[in-house]
Amino acid sequence: MLFVATLIAITAYLGAAWLQWQRLSSPDSYSGRLIRLLGLGAFIFHGYAVYALLHYPEGIDLGTFRVGSLIAWVVVGILLASSLRQKLDNLFIGAFPMAAITAALAAFAPDTGDHRLYSGGLVVHILLSLLAYSIFTLAALHALVLSRQEKLLKQHHTRGLLHSLPPLQIMERLLFEMLWCGFILLSTALITGFLFVEDLFAQHLAHKTILSIVAWLVYAILLAGRALLGWRSQTAVRWTLGGFILLMLAFFGSKIVVEMLLKG
């Protein structure tokens, strides 16, 4: 059942992404509601697969591929909900294939994690970290679209992607709304980490902790620069992507080293 659910999710994700891509050249070719319903179906089957892969009688498996699938699932859920209020449908083109790839890796790649029981405080820290990473993933995707939108405007293109996007000012506002939300979650995750993790600077955690703090500083500088200096457009894009790369290295870099290289 796990493999069937994963295959259905992958097929639905890729189908929805392809339909959204077709809408760029022909906005009336497919209904946005149809694409969201297809994405919702993929999200439901993906959710079943995530639950089955993470939960075991001995504890929770937070291996690299399985956590990656969980994060992608959360990203899709947030995006589907947000797309009902904001014009974010074009992010489906990046988020859905990402979810399909991570779902496939989680289900079919070798398991690299351990099954462990976690205390309540540690579970809160993990959930906040995952939510923060998910929001920043969306922000990074949004920043890439924003960067492309600005370049198309300078080249005086009016069709395709540019025609389907909100005005540049609204896109920038949405980006900073995501950044503020992610920044608050990351700040809370770091605080709970210091409260509930026994030693955040232990040998196997130091890399993750230091890079996470540096990423927090990057986002803090970006948000301060926006408020005090009016940073926008390509400056905001570069700082957003820089902070995201640091977070990606903090989370997945440390897990890959511990789970694959050291164990190997």
Question: Are residues 35 and 16 in contact, defined by beta-carbon separation less than 8 angstroms?
Answer: yes
- Residue 212, domain extent: 118-264
Least confident of 13-22, 115-124, 170-179, 200-209: 200-209
Question: Are residues 236 and 149 in contact, defined by beta-carbon separation less than 8 angstroms?
Answer: no
Q: Do 205 and 239 sit in the same domain of this protein?
A: yes
Q: Which of 92, 117, 142 is the last residue of a domain?
A: 117
Q: Please name which of 53, 60, 63 lies closest in space to residue 117, comparing C-alpha atoms.
A: 60
Q: Do 152 and 84 sit in the same domain of this protein?
A: no
Q: What is the rounded CA–CA span in Å between residue 178 and residue 244? A: 13
DSSP state of 231: -
Distance of CA 171 to the CA centre of its chain: 18
Q: Could you tell me the pTM of the whole model?
A: 0.87
pLDDT: which is higher, 251 or 245: 245
Q: Do 82 and 138 sit in the same domain of this protein?
A: no
Over range 164-180, report the average pLDDT: 89
Q: What is the rounded CA–CA span in Å between residue 53 and residue 207? A: 27
Q: Do 136 and 245 sit in the same domain of this protein?
A: yes
Question: Are residues 39 and 90 in contact, defined by beta-carbon separation less than 8 angstroms?
Answer: no
**pLDDT tens per residue across span 99-146:** 999 999 999 988 777 778 888 888 899 999 999 999 999 999 999 999
Question: Are residues 123 and 69 in contact, defined by beta-carbon separation less than 8 angstroms?
Answer: no
Q: Do 6 and 108 sit in the same domain of this protein?
A: yes
Question: Are residues 7 and 42 in contact, defined by beta-carbon separation less than 8 angstroms?
Answer: no
Domain count, the chain: 2
- pLDDT tops 90 at residue 4: yes
pLDDT: which is higher, 155 or 172: 172
Q: Do 80 and 175 sit in the same domain of this protein?
A: no
Q: Do 65 and 87 sit in the same domain of this protein?
A: yes
Q: What is the pLDDT of residue 196?
A: 86
Q: Which of 64, 93, 117 is the last residue of a domain?
A: 117
pLDDT-based confidence at residue 160 (cuts at 50, 70, 90): low
Over range 164-175, report the average pLDDT: 86
Q: What is the rounded CA–CA span in Å between residue 41 and residue 216? A: 34
pLDDT-based confidence at residue 161 (cuts at 50, 70, 90): low
Q: What average pLDDT does the chain have?
A: 88
